Amino acid sequence: REDEILGASVKTLRAKLRAASRGADKIRARLNQGAFPELSRTISTPTSTGRRGQRAFLNAFDEDFGDVVAREKELNKFLKLAKEEEARAASPFQKQMWKDDASNAEFWFNVQKVESSADPVWIQGMDDTIDGFKTIARGHRGTPEQRLAKLPADTVSELKKDVRREIHQLGGKLTPDDLEAFERRLMTMRLDIHDAAVAGKTDIHFDAGRRLKVLIETSGASKGDINQTYRGLRNIVEEGKTPAAESLEAMDRTMGREATQELLKARALGTRAFETLMDTIGLPRVLMTTLDMSAMFRQGAVLAFGHPFIFASAVKDSFRTFFHERSAIRLNEALKMGRGSVKLGDKVEDIAALTERLGLYQAPWEAQGSIVSLSTREEGMMSRLARMIPGIKMSERSYILFLNKLRADVADNAIRGWAKARVPPSENEMKQFIHFVNVATGRGIPGKSLDTILPLMNAAMFSPRLAISRFQVVGETARAFMTPSNRASQLIIKDMLAFTGTNLAALSLGHWAGLWDLEVDPTKADFMKIRVGNTSIDPWAGFKPYATYFARMTEAISKGDFDRLDNIVEQLARSKLAPVPSGIWDAITGRDFIGRPVKWNTLDFDNAFISRAVPL
């Protein structure tokens, strides 16, 4: 019954599954879907221990067979038979297989008694397994197919022939899926033996992968976290790359943060060096964007007027998290697990999981500044090194959690409102609005063609995602006007009219009241800005510069002045550069992006550093 399952521990669930099945065949079928999927591979392996060995193995992991003492006796029977087979085997394949199976059976038997990941047995098992897994990760070996592709054709043919011969000698019957899994296991072993022979090493095989999978799947984590963990491990082991933020967070939950950090140390040296370089280049930008709360009036401004109470709540929490880390921790947890559920038709869904599935972006604050894929960080906080500077860490959590809360609350409010209607919203409607929320808050989506070079774009440009997002907001607004009957389109139009209408009204009223000057020539730098004396304030959240540059380009083209057009395009490009690249360009040309001469004297510290590092 549902009330017996909800909230039950992993051990209790396994016991209920065992109670529902009897007999070796049923147990084997259940294990294919249960908490120990890798055990089924061992059970299905065509071994020569015979039925007695198979039965002893099954009994050892069947709680209905008896108490721990009785099942441990069955385990010892299997271990004895496996060691006898190892002694008789002539092939390195078979010797290693029996050795691994005996060792893993004992390991799995101990792990199945663990009730939580805080158990010392589980912790010790994870530590030992990570040590072995790091050896695999350091080699960045890739899949068996990728490893074979690097070898000469005659060597590949020999290795495949060896694997087929071993399978034939072992005998037995396997299902197609089990046969494929067993072939991959033997091929991995054969490749390890080959690589060890080439390197002159005696340690020919590491079976940490199977052990780690068991530990992950007995951690009590959700299936989503387990799948994300496997994706992250594949990134590290097969590619030597940093996993995505969601994979890193899942790995923290399934394996523990220390284990995750240890595995990340095994990444390719080039990957770690590249991230350190990007952190160093990104440091001046972080210094410029810190302590100024700029996210409220730049990334957050588009949604502010359409959702004033949500915006005000996010601002309040932003100040609270700036001064109190405990408040930041509570808010971060609430955004992940405390947003409640929503009923869409006959289905009730957790709204945090729903919006995540629909693509709502939530920046990884917990891992921010440790080791996170460069493409997943908020652009204002692209350097881990900055966290070592007093005040930066406070600004970082305020910046990230403000945007996370604003995105989440706006998306939740829209979906809850639509859920009250007679007809629930379609998934396409929800996806459309959530995409708008992402780009409206500066999380532009560059597309697959640019995604791979995004870390380089982040190093070269001040905020490439924000720049991309401003064009995408215009595109989403135009799309909304073409489909006005769509509920998402109606809300997008409402938000954009609130943003533009409020700004235009405020600018006009203040100008008519004599509070400030207002420039209406679109080719002027102060176009549609609040100007008081020598101070100009831009309320347009990053849209205005493009309007001015495009107006200047149109004027230059209409007059046939293409030299001026080239200068305008160059000026636009230079205005978007990050501090370090812009400094290099200034040094080469001798002028800054608006044409002022640049002095690079030894004592001219203002020009050389302060102007590119002090908060805006």
Q: Which two tokens stand for residue 282?
A: 């990104």
pLDDT band at 472 (very low <50, low <70, confident <90, very high): very high
Q: Can you give the C-alpha Rg of the chain in angstroms?
A: 30
Q: How far apart are CA 369 and CA 109, in angstroms?
A: 39
pLDDT value of position 26: 47
pLDDT band at 436 (very low <50, low <70, confident <90, very high): very high
Last residue of a domain, one of 200, 220, 240: 220
Secondary structure element (H or E) that encloses residue 179, with its range: helix 176-199
Beta strands in 414-527 (DSSP E): none
- Kindly state the average pLDDT of the residues 308-326: 90
Q: How far apart are CA 362 and CA 355, in angstroms?
A: 10
Shared domain check, 190 and 323? no
Shared domain check, 307 and 168? no
pLDDT per residue over 178-222, tens digit each?
677 677 777 877 777 777 677 665 554 445 555 666 666 666 667
Name 32's Cβ contacts closer than 8 Å, sequence gap at least 6: 40
Name the most confidently modeled range: 114-118, 338-342, 437-441: 437-441
Domain assignment of residue 18, yes or no: yes
pLDDT value of position 80: 86
Domain assignment of residue 239, yes or no: no
pLDDT value of position 312: 94
Residue 369 is part of which domain span?
271-509
Residue 147 has pLDDT above 90, yes or no: no
Last residue of a domain, one of 201, 220, 239: 220
CA angle 137/139/145 to nearest 5° reads 95
Ramachandran quadrant class, 378 (left: phi over 0; alpha: psi -120 to 50; beta: rest): beta
pTM, to two decimals: 0.57
Domain assignment of residue 493, yes or no: yes
Shared domain check, 113 and 28? yes
Q: How far apart are CA 52 and CA 81, in angstroms?
A: 9
Q: Is the dihedral of CA 217, 218, 223, 228 positive or negative?
A: negative
**Which amino acid is present at 38?**
E
**Which amino acid is present at 392?**
I
Q: How far apart are CA 494 and CA 310, in angstroms?
A: 15
Shared domain check, 154 and 24? yes
Last residue of a domain, one of 220, 252, 280: 220
pLDDT band at 136 (very low <50, low <70, confident <90, very high): low
Question: Comparing 432 with 567, which gets the higher pLDDT?
Answer: 432
Q: How far apart are CA 465 and CA 293, in angstroms?
A: 18
- Kindly state the average pLDDT of the residues 455-467: 67
Q: Burial level of 174, CB count in 10 A (0-12/13-18/19+)? A: middle
pLDDT value of position 381: 44
Give the side-chain half-sphere CA count within 13 A for 602: 0
DSSP SS3 for 577: strand
The 10 Å Cβ neighbour count of residue 35 is: 18
Residue 230 has pLDDT above 50, yes or no: yes
Q: How far is CA 594 from CA 336, 377, 559, 599, in A?
A: 45, 30, 22, 15
Q: How far apart are CA 206 and CA 131, in angstroms?
A: 10
pLDDT per residue over 338-364, tens digit each?
788 888 888 888 898 899 889 898 887
- Nearest Cα neighbor of 107 from 223, 258, 34, 212 is 212
Secondary structure element (H or E) that encloses residue 535, with its range: strand 535-537
- Kindly state the average pLDDT of the residues 280-296: 53
Q: How far apart are CA 505 and CA 488, in angstroms?
A: 25
Number of domains in the chain: 2
Contact (Cβ atoms closer than 8 angstroms) between residue 302 and residue 541? yes
Q: How far apart are the first and last CA of the chain?
A: 59
Shared domain check, 290 and 167? no
pLDDT value of position 77: 86
Shared domain check, 210 and 280? no
pLDDT value of position 432: 94
Contact (Cβ atoms closer than 8 angstroms) between residue 418 and residue 488? no
Give the side-chain half-sphere CA count within 13 A for 353: 11
- Nearest Cα neighbor of 242 from 216, 223, 269, 221 is 269
Q: How far apart are CA 613 and CA 288, in angstroms?
A: 5
Name the most confidently modeled range: 32-46, 216-230, 324-338: 324-338
- Kindly state the average pLDDT of the residues 594-611: 53
Q: How far is CA 105 from CA 38, 97, 98, 171, 305, in A?
A: 11, 12, 10, 22, 62
Name 481's Cβ contacts closer than 8 Å, sequence gap at least 6: 489, 493
Shared domain check, 331 and 200? no
pLDDT value of position 23: 43
Shared domain check, 130 and 47? yes
Query: What are φ and ψ of residue 597, in 5° steps?
Result: -65, 145
Domain assignment of residue 570, yes or no: no
Shared domain check, 152 and 6? yes
* Alpha-helical regions (H) of 338-389: 351-358
Alpha carbon of residue 218 to chain centroid: 23
| Poorest-pLDDT segment among 319-323, 401-405, 598-602, 604-608 | 604-608
Name the most confidently modeled range: 143-152, 384-393, 426-435, 438-447: 426-435
> What is the pLDDT of the chain when averaged over all its residues?
73
pLDDT per residue over 367-423, tens digit each?
344 444 444 444 444 444 445 555 667 777 888 899 999 999 999 999 999 998 888
Domain assignment of residue 353, yes or no: yes
pLDDT band at 507 (very low <50, low <70, confident <90, very high): very high
**Residue listed under structure tokens 């002028």:** 591
Question: Comparing 504 with 608, which gets the higher pLDDT?
Answer: 504
Domain assignment of residue 545, yes or no: no
Q: How far apart are CA 367 and CA 243, in angstroms?
A: 12
pLDDT value of position 473: 94
Domain assignment of residue 235, yes or no: no
Question: Comparing 130 with 278, which gets the higher pLDDT?
Answer: 130
Shared domain check, 279 and 208? no
3-state secondary structure 32-44: CCCCCHHHHHHHH
Contact (Cβ atoms closer than 8 angstroms) between residue 472 and residue 439? yes
Domain assignment of residue 561, yes or no: no
pLDDT value of position 205: 46
**Residue listed under structure tokens 């640049």:** 598
Helix axes 37-44, 176-199, angle to 10 degrees: 90
pLDDT band at 56 (very low <50, low <70, confident <90, very high): confident
Residue 140 has pLDDT above 60, yes or no: no
- Nearest Cα neighbor of 396 from 406, 382, 408 is 382
pLDDT value of position 596: 64
Shared domain check, 291 and 215? no
Shared domain check, 50 and 174? yes
Residue 47 has pLDDT above 50, yes or no: no
